[in-house]
Structure 1
């Protein structure tokens, strides 16, 4: 007897006619057929609305009084190629004596098994069905009591199964429990089984993989057979890799549910349901698993740079994009250019064989699949040695003495440079300080010169220099006179003006004339080719630049002689009168000169030279005599100048001429 349908449809036993023919259309519900209490819906392949005949043939069983029948549902349609599945064979009990049993019974070796059982008898025998009078018999592999009996509820034998009927026989319940079952009680060794299935989710053929979309609700149900064990079996959930699980169980039915909202964290996670039977000597387990594949948009998109996102100019660089997504993403590289995104290429890598400064900037990797898009930026930092190093000076490299000056050094480099200031001193470089600025609060002349800024990072060094030019107004202005500021009339005289200043000064010469300043000329020199008395007086040199002016003056003293003719004896007399104390010495020197020159003098021209140094000082008057000795034969002269004697002594100066002839 095939008890599958009987157990499934809860078939009551009622007699059926030997043949029933029913006509119906595809999809039409059929009326209840005899003992079948549920409506049957006939659905033929191809979903065609055609007339179909259901024929049920009653076959008598040789085992009276139980009669078995095999109804054949013949689905006839000549236009359709029917497969073997088109013919369904159901076997049901067709008389009023019947029994309902599970189709398959499984038990664990060493454990117990409960067989649910119900039966029906003819109504006429129900009055004799009492608990005391009823006996339950179980037969295996046949129906002969002598050879196939394995259990008698009233007579226990050593070679019989150890068990008891737990159902009430008078209530037609023959449920039985068997203890300490083993593999000898079955044709195939029993194994505990677990069934794992998903509500409204299709599991792929044999792979046991579940495809779900992120954000959807997933319900995993685990069920196990209700096998007999004490304590009762347990169902547990686990996952690989491990994640927190929240489950609900219906222990009385041995069903456990695992509900969750799918996220990318559950992608490729294998969920396992395990049933554990606690036996006397050991635990027996069974399990089933399913792997969840979650489809989701790109997440955790990132860009890695080899060798580094900070790379030396001229190096090779590779950008690699990665993203977590299901299904796999497509990668697109782009770069921001002039405020707009410029697409560069596709693929997960972007390579620069020799990178330069024009490649620096922000790069974007876009990962995309049918569920969404995600970007990841990376800043490509190009490092290089210092270049374009320069020094700027505020307010200017040419600055007025006493001002505040700041030197600022700048350089293009990556990473940033360190600045060092130095100055050349006595042929060597003297380090001053570090930092990009060098400040002088009040600069002076000693700080003028060349200053050097050195910019340095780990990739190189570059220098820049600046000349600090300290400007100032004229100082130490002076006038020098060649040959002298006291010069003989008719001589050549040069006045030279000098001054210390930055920038260089312009010189202007002027002279005081009748109480007013008369400008003469410009330039650092003033020359008189043949000076005369009208040139005597005060001369002024003015040194001037944009920062100031300074003057220097000099008194030009013009010396000259007056000529008188006297005899040699008169001159000697005058000398004796005026210079009583020194006349002897003077006569002695004159005689020595006369003897050396050996000149016959007939007359002596005496020039008296008067010089006035200051009109306001009467004591400043000097007198001199110019003696000109004339050689009558040659017609030449020699001049002799005598200075006026002081109160204590007198000095006679003799000026010789190369034109005197010796005789």
Structure 2
């Protein structure tokens, strides 16, 4: 009984050894076939040239890709997928099933070894993992790894954003992608250098674009250049000489940042001192008279500096001058007449007074006092 059991155990052990031997041989043969020329590993059938591309929003990006298979296989079809999280499950969804990719994807590969894919007009939602899958007459194969696409935008930076004329300004174009070169524009016009000494005319909106691809651009950033009042000038509402009795206004203007405050000065002549006669952008002269004539000057001032306008001379017209002279002479004539007549009037008044007194004396002797008894 014991002898029979020993023989049985021996047979079972030999059978187990044979099974294990056959299994190991099959694994070995499979491994040799995989490593032999003309074969491919089922775990690594797809290779990505750049597994971490970066693309600017609105641009096009290409996934360079190759795939391999055994000599005995024939490729029947291929598909690209995007990894999406549906609930708590990570799934690979075919791009053809995603409406956002319709008309924006272009397969650049073939049914042999090229599996490259292009995505046009890249959007923020395109960021993520992408996978390639192909089917042969024997197997269905897919990439073990993925292509991870990063999507970014150009970001313009002006440093500092507020400067005074003469300060240094630096333009910087930021992005997480590697760019060959960028160019700058200010209000639609090219900027020669990304670093410059600020002038009044440099104020405006700046943006950067990818050289040769002007559609790829950043959002504009404003540069505020502060400077003292420039080109200060006076405008007279009534051109030419003034007319007596009319209303005239003087307006002062300048180019300044921040906005300027205005002060008005007047002098009788170029040699006379200027006196402050008003403030504000407009100086009104109501019911013009001779005293309004003279030199006027406007001073514009802000926190950066100040500047004066050129002097403006206001005069009366010829007609007004004639009328003024007539009035002046008439007034003088009246004064002369008064001065000449005044002594005569006084003499006449004095004589009349004396005559009146004499008459009173004469009349006083015509009567005697009569005393009654």
- State the TM-score, normalized to the length of structure 2: 0.48
Structure with the greater relative contact order (CA < 8 A, sep ≥ 6): 1 or 2?
Answer: 2
Relative to total residues, which structure has the larger helix share, 1 or 2? 2
Larger Rg: 1
